């Protein structure tokens, strides 16, 4: 989760107005012509798409039928400017990031069934997509710079079982954002085990956040299944027996210079976890 979204989540939690991705708060108001409302600015599969001409307003979103859409705001409202080919399963999330550090943004999206695509936001050409056979599913993905090279990385959890009939095997992956190759995959599996009344069900982690959670100067990857993994050395820093929540943000609530995990459970309630103290902070 990037800092802007973390800030947005916090402000939302505090009941304050949420700025639009940290940019000009009036941006989303379309100068009074059209207003976003409800949870739109929290949606993961919808982003504002900057344009060379800042007067041009565009939005990119992915739908659950597997297509990306780009809307352009003209005088009288939105016009659909482009639709992607069918990506074959629900779009989980859309990002607008400069993955290779060349100063130009790319549209990055991933689907429920494990397809990752990069599109050029100027001419809408496909820049890259992964092999269809790579993954059975991707359950969460974030973009951050977690190593020494200046490119951004894709950090994600994916089910890489070979056959549909095998049990799911959720591993953590790091892909280089420029070369778009696999830099690392965890040996360990990271399932999310959820216990309700009597049954325990297992799936993949549904959220991850990245930050230095123990103050050693190295970024850590937090999976909502309860794992904190050093992004450089790939060691497990903490395994909480309790999952953290469905959605997470990072905030230093006690001003010791090290952020805590703010986790949302049951769709709205917040818990705070300290990685330093390896426990829920009460
Ligand atoms: Ca770029
Ligand atoms: Ca990097
Ligand atoms: Ca650390
Ligand atoms: Ca702290």
Using CA atoms, how far apart are residues 132 and 153, in angstroms rounded to an integer? 20
Partnered with residue 238 across adjacent β-strands are: 228
pLDDT in tens, 219-255: 999 999 999 999 999 999 999 999 999 999 999 999 9
pLDDT in tens, 183-218: 999 999 999 987 776 777 779 999 999 999 999 999
> Once rounded to an integer, what is the mean pLDDT over residues 57-68?
96
Q: What is the DSSP letter of 15?
A: T
Q: Quick one: pLDDT at residue 74?
A: 83
Name residue, tokens 């954002």: 177
- Residue 137 falls in which region: left (phi positive, over 0), alpha (psi -120 to 50) or beta: beta
Using CA atoms, how far apart are residues 156 and 95, in angstroms rounded to an integer? 13
Q: What is the distance in A from the centroid of ligand 2 to the CA of 145? A: 4
Q: What is the distance in A from the centroid of ligand 3 to the CA of 273? A: 15
What is the band of 25 on the pLDDT scale with cuts at 50, 70, 90?
very low
* Residues in the 5 Å CB sphere of ion ligand 2: 145, 147, 149, 151
pLDDT in tens, 137-173: 999 999 999 999 999 999 999 999 999 899 999 999 9
Q: What is the distance in A from the centroid of ligand 1 to the CA of 58? A: 18
Name residue, tokens 């200046």: 150
The region of weakest confidence among 110-114, 242-246, 259-263 is 242-246
Q: What is the distance in A from the centroid of ligand 4 to the CA of 267? A: 24
Q: Is the pLDDT of residue 15 over 50?
A: no
Q: What is the distance in A from the centroid of ligand 2 to the CA of 63? A: 29
Using CA atoms, how far apart are residues 112 and 110, in angstroms rounded to an integer? 7
Using CA atoms, how far apart are residues 123 and 271, in angstroms rounded to an integer? 43
Which residues contact residue 127 at a Cβ distance below 8 angstroms, ignoring those fewer than 6 apart? 106, 118, 119, 120
Q: Quick one: pLDDT at residue 233?
A: 96
Strands 269-274 and 279-280: antiparallel
> Once rounded to an integer, what is the mean pLDDT over residues 262-282?
95
Tell me the two tokens of residue 152. 């951004």
Q: Quick one: pLDDT at residue 21?
A: 41
Q: What is the distance in A from the centroid of ligand 1 to the CA of 151? A: 9
End-to-end CA distance of the chain: 24
Determine which helix (DSSP H) or strand (DSSP E) holds 4, and give its type and residue range. helix 3-13
> Once rounded to an integer, what is the mean pLDDT over residues 83-100?
97
Q: Quick one: pLDDT at residue 32?
A: 46
């Amino acid at each position: 989760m990037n800092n802007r979204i973390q800030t947005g989540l916090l402000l939302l939690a505090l009941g304050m107005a949420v700025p639009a991705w940290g940019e000009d708060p009036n941006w989303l108001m379309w100068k009074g012509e059209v207003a976003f409302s409800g949870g739109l600015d929290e949606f993961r599969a919808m982003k504002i798409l900057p344009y060379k001409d800042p007067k041009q307003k565009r939005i990119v979103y992915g739908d659950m039928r597997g297509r990306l859409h780009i809307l352009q705001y003209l005088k009288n409202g939105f016009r659909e400017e482009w639709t992607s080919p069918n990506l074959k399963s629900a779009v989980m999330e859309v990002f607008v990031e400069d993955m290779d550090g060349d100063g130009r943004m790319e549209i990055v999206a991933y689907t429920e069934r494990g397809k990752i695509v990069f599109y050029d936001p100027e001419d809408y050409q496909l820049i890259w997509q992964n092999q269809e056979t790579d993954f059975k599913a991707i359950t969460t993905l974030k973009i951050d710079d977690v190593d020494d090279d200046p490119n951004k990385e894709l950090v994600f959890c994916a089910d890489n079982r070979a056959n549909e009939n095998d049990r799911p095997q959720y591993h953590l992956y790091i892909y280089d954002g420029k070369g778009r190759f696999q830099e690392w995959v965890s040996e360990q599996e990271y399932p999310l085990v959820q216990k309700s009344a009597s049954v325990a069900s297992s799936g993949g982690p549904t959220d991850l956040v990245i930050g230095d959670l123990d103050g050693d100067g190295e970024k850590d990857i937090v999976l909502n299944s309860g794992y904190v993994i050093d992004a450089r050395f790939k060691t497990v820093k903490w395994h909480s027996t309790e999952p953290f929540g469905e959605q997470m943000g990072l905030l230093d609530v006690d001003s010791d210079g090290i952020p805590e995990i703010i986790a949302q459970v049951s769709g709205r309630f917040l818990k705070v976890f300290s990685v330093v103290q390896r426990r829920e902070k009460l």
